[in-house]
Amino acid sequence: MFKKTSKNRPTYGIIGLGRFGMALALELAHSGADLIVLDRDEDKIRQIREYTDNAFVVPSLDKKTLYETGIQNCDVAIVCIGEALDKSILTTLTLVSMGIPSVIAKSTGQEHGEILEKLGATVVYPEQDMAIRLAHRLEASRMLDYIQLSEKLNISKLMIPEKMVGKTVLEVDLRKNFGANIIAVENEGTLLEIVAPAYIFRRGDILYVSGSKDGLNRLSLWADK
């Protein structure tokens, strides 16, 4: 049974190891996150056990079985079941009823997504999101990645433009000019998660910023000028 070991970092539960679920589990594992992973396929669970001890073969996803795995102790649970809509909906409903702080569910279409939202889940559309991310990367040469969480909240990863090098966060003031908030700054493999107003941007910095779709588009266009 999984039990949360750290109070300082979130723990994630992943249900379903299809292409999306496996990719998500590996990415979180590589980032050092605490994981619990569930699937009925023994081979897939065997693969993921290289990255987490909390990987369980579950023949069913009823409430009793889920409780026995300890997934209710997670901060975030992600339902990565796509094609079996009934199983996706029932599992999402069960996780929400367990009181897990955040339940995220993969959707294969608009109607499916609307049902999941009504159950209290945050819905993701992997294929649609990938298309949006690719479009934004093609539109803006400095944008390295783009994640759309909603129309008002998006996350962008972009190379520092030359015009920002040598200036402080306060001087550039992305919040005032674009409604964008700096989440972190990466340089030569080092990630700075708390970026003070006095931080001076350096050549080679990679910015992680959040904001509205419009604000991040304007920021990207300004950076490319």
**Distances, alpha carbon 206 to alpha carbons 22, 138, 194, 214, in Å:** 27, 18, 14, 20
What is the three-class DSSP state of 176? Answer: helix
- pLDDT for res 62: 92
Rounding to the nearest 10 degrees, give the CA dihedral for residues 167, 169, 170, 175.
130
Domains and CATH numbers, the chain: 11-124 (3.40.50.720), 129-224 (3.30.70.1450)
Sheet containing 76-79: give its strands across: 55-57, 34-39, 11-15, 76-79, 102-106, 122-124
Q: Provide the token pair at 160.
A: 């520092």
Query: Which residues, including other chains, have CB under 8 Å from residue 38's CB and lie 6 or more apart?
Result: 13, 14, 15, 16, 55, 56, 58, 61, 66, 69, 71
Contact between 178 and 216 under an 8 Å Cβ cutoff? The reply is yes
Percent of the chain surpassing pLDDT 90: 45
Question: What is the arithmetic mean of pLDDT over 101-115?
Answer: 89
Q: Is the pLDDT of residue 213 over 80?
A: no
Mean residue pLDDT of the chain comes to: 84
In this structure, how many other beta carbons lie within 10 angstroms of the beta carbon of residue 18?
A: 16
The pairing of strands 11-15 and 76-79 is parallel
Q: Which tens digits make up the pLDDT trace of 114-162?
A: 999 999 998 887 665 554 554 444 444 445 454 555 556 777 878 888 8
Q: Which tens digits make up the pLDDT trace of 183-207?
A: 889 988 888 888 899 999 999 898 8
- pLDDT for res 141: 44
Rounded to whole angstroms, the Cα distance separating 52 from 209 reads 30
Predicted structure pTM score: 0.58
- pLDDT for res 27: 85
Q: Which helix (H) or strand (E) holds 106?
A: strand 102-106
